[in-house]
Amino acid sequence: MELSCPDVPNTAAHLTQSGTQRQRIRQACKQCHLLKAKCSGTSPTCQRCCKKGISCEYTVPKPLLKTRKRRRAVPYLEKQQTTPLSPLERAEHTCEKPSSGNIASEIASMGCNITHKDQHRNKDGDTCEGLGLQKTIVRLYIDAYFEYISPLCENGFIHRALFLRAWTSGKVDPVLLKAICSASADFVPANSDASTRRDGWLSEAECYIWTNIGRPSIAILQVLVIVISQNLALSRFSALQLLLAVASKMAYLLRLNHENPKLTTTAREIRRRIMWSIFILERRLAGGQEDLTTCPKNAMHIQLPSTEKDFELAISSRTGPLVPTEADGESSSMGIRAYFCRLSSIRHEILQYTRRVISQGASANDTGSELLQLESDLLNFKNSLPEALVLNERNLNLRAFSPQMRRYVMLHAAWHQCHCDLYRFMIPGLRDSLSSGTLRNTSSELMMYCQAQAVDHVNALVDLLQMVLRIGDGIMLDPGIKILVYQCTRIITRASDIGLLGTKSERLETLSKLTIAAEVLLPIIAVNQSTSQLVSCRADSIVKTLLPLCRLR
């Protein structure tokens, strides 16, 4: 019986992906392999064994006729993107359309981070491995953040519902979680190693920032702003300017200073709030120095933050720009955060003016018109506030023991601080006052006016703090209030030395009021050692002023 030798079949196993004849077979038979001869690899017998008339055997059964999957070429940017995409970035990449206001769909589309899925949870789901704490304890840290940190004017860019949804499902960014827990650690009752744990989380967050500085993302920027805010609260100023510069440049690269109508309502508001947080922090730390600012007013092409209600419920609203115009009018969606952004800009201009006058040594008479213009800006700002935000005891009581209390008190305290910054350079003896020669060349009317205005606004600020104390003890205010109390002390004690407080009894009354008002710092002292040191200096300054007066009585 004559054997017919099979031809090489045109099967998928014998063809390349381009359709040409495969030159090399996947496996040779035993005889061809032993003689190192070329084998056709056909089954049941190869062409060489068929021609030789010998038996043909394969060592193992022929492999399944499947084409080998080639590795997909990964684009360069995808290989570089080892940092997890935040929910906002995923929305940008998919060009997500604005939602119809359904918060459930917002949470589903934005409230998770699939890259870090379950990395911070163990198998039983009861412990956060990255933090080394039980989930119930971690929830205390998260709640403390949204109660004490998020209400501050320079924070509030994390949506609570979306974050908690991501955290409970195990999809939250673990580094962001550590930054949040570090920021709120001082507000959670803990054992003696709480500060060590807090500093450890803070260091890990900072290392994460510097490691991924070349891959800007919303997630990294959120961590960065929280780190900056925490270092500011702890009075750690060494690297704040550098971190702020990195934050502003990263925000520009992500175009956070421009509106993006393709994103959802919540995503757009989160981006705005991050950008305005950087703006407020930079204005607070620049001290009027133009060289230290990287967020000029003309670069802020976004509207001001919306109210907390609109943010929490994903309500699309229209607020005004940084510089108000008559055409824009005032929006009902303008909350305390929005007005605080405007006030921060005015204060920066005031500090620029006073620094320039002091450094140039020019007569204040020549710049009186500019001083009056800044004074007018502050008055217009006050008049632009809606009735619900005007300073009075009723509005203060309505916000008592609520997160809005901190923003409300800080807004009006900062307004009085702006006046103190504008006028105090006319009080001789202060570090940031005009030289004695320049003061001699200044008209007595202008100098007396500025001195009287500075003292009046310090007294008004003291009255505001006493109003807060009348509500109840233990009210936690914005940590930035400690700087205001310190400035009040400097102005009052110096004004007392040069006789600007009136009679001896009036001086004692003013100084006693300031001592009582400083009690608003006690809740802050409990969680902030730097504030305790500041109050100690304040108390020493007041005691040195009070003792001589008491002896005279």
In the structure encoding, which two tokens stand for residue 99, read together? 């939602």
Euclidean distance between CA atoms 299 and 135, whole angstroms: 42
Which residue segments constitute the domains of the chain, with CATH numbers given? 1-67 (4.10.240.10), 86-273 (no CATH), 335-552 (no CATH)
Residues in a beta bridge with 134: 127
Closest CA relative to residue 427, chosen from 409, 402, 447, 441? 447
Euclidean distance between CA atoms 414 and 149, whole angstroms: 18
Would you say 513 and 492 are in contact if contact means Cβ atoms under 8 Å apart?
no
Predicted local distance difference test score (pLDDT) of residue 14: 56
In the structure encoding, which two tokens stand for residue 449, read together? 């006016």
Would you say 283 and 241 are in contact if contact means Cβ atoms under 8 Å apart?
no
CB proximity list for 145: less than 8 A, separation 6 or greater: 180, 181, 183, 184
Closest CA relative to residue 159, chosen from 311, 330, 47? 311
> What angle is formed at CA 425 by the lines to CA 421 and CA 429, rounded to 5 degrees?
125
Euclidean distance between CA atoms 63 and 70, whole angstroms: 18
> What angle is formed at CA 96 by the lines to CA 95 and CA 97, rounded to 5 degrees?
115
DSSP state, residue 16 = -
From residue 454, alpha-carbon distances to 413, 437, 500 in Å are 14, 21, 10
Closest CA relative to residue 45, chosen from 34, 31, 35? 31
Predicted local distance difference test score (pLDDT) of residue 327: 62
Predicted local distance difference test score (pLDDT) of residue 328: 60
Question: What is the residue whose two structure tokens read 């704040």?
Answer: 240
Predicted local distance difference test score (pLDDT) of residue 114: 35
CB proximity list for 283: less than 8 A, separation 6 or greater: 293, 344, 345, 347, 348
In the structure encoding, which two tokens stand for residue 87, read together? 């929910």
Q: At what angle do helices 218-233 and 240-253 cross, to 10 degrees?
A: 160
What ranges in 188-334 are assigned the alpha helix state H? 194-211, 218-233, 240-253, 265-286, 308-312
Predicted local distance difference test score (pLDDT) of residue 122: 43
Three-state DSSP class for 96? coil
Euclidean distance between CA atoms 133 and 174, whole angstroms: 13
Predicted local distance difference test score (pLDDT) of residue 22: 61
What ranges in 291-389 are assigned the alpha helix state H? 308-312, 336-360, 368-384
Rounded to 5 degrees, φ, ψ at 288 are: 85, 0
In the structure encoding, which two tokens stand for residue 161, read together? 């519902």
Euclidean distance between CA atoms 109 and 328, whole angstroms: 33
Q: How many CB atoms lie within 10 A of CB 392?
A: 11
Per-residue pLDDT of the chain (553 residues; tens, 9 = 90+): 444 555 545 555 555 555 666 656 667 888 888 777 888 888 788 888 888 778 888 875 544 444 444 444 434 333 334 444 444 444 344 333 444 444 444 443 343 443 443 444 444 445 565 777 888 989 999 999 999 999 999 999 999 999 999 999 888 999 999 999 999 988 887 766 777 888 899 999 999 999 999 899 999 999 999 999 998 888 788 788 899 999 999 999 999 999 999 999 999 999 999 999 999 999 999 988 888 888 999 999 999 999 999 999 999 989 989 998 776 656 667 899 999 999 999 999 999 999 999 888 767 778 888 999 999 999 999 999 999 999 999 999 999 888 888 899 999 999 999 999 999 999 998 888 888 888 888 888 999 999 999 999 999 998 998 888 888 766 777 888 888 888 888 888 888 888 888 788 888 888 888 887 777 777 776 666 544 454 555 545 554 444 444 443 3
Closest CA relative to residue 138, chosen from 110, 107, 163? 163
Rounded to 5 degrees, φ, ψ at 391 are: -75, 115
Helices (H) and strands (E) in the chain, counts: 23, 2
Predicted local distance difference test score (pLDDT) of residue 514: 80
Euclidean distance between CA atoms 402 and 137, whole angstroms: 23
For the stretch 536-541, contacts whose Cβ atoms lie closer than 8 Å and that sit 24 or more positions apart, written own/partner, are 537/486, 538/485, 538/486, 538/489, 539/515, 541/489, 541/490, 541/493
Q: How many CB atoms lie within 10 A of CB 181?
A: 26
Alpha carbon 70 to its chain centroid, in Å, reads 44
User: How do the residues of the chain divide into helix, strand and coil, expressed in percent and rounded to 5?
Assistant: 60, 0, 40
Euclidean distance between CA atoms 334 and 303, whole angstroms: 10
Euclidean distance between CA atoms 335 and 316, whole angstroms: 14
Closest CA relative to residue 283, chosen from 414, 391, 374, 403? 414
How would you classify the pairing of strands 127-128 and 133-134? antiparallel
Would you say 418 and 346 are in contact if contact means Cβ atoms under 8 Å apart?
yes
CB proximity list for 394: less than 8 A, separation 6 or greater: none
Predicted local distance difference test score (pLDDT) of residue 526: 63
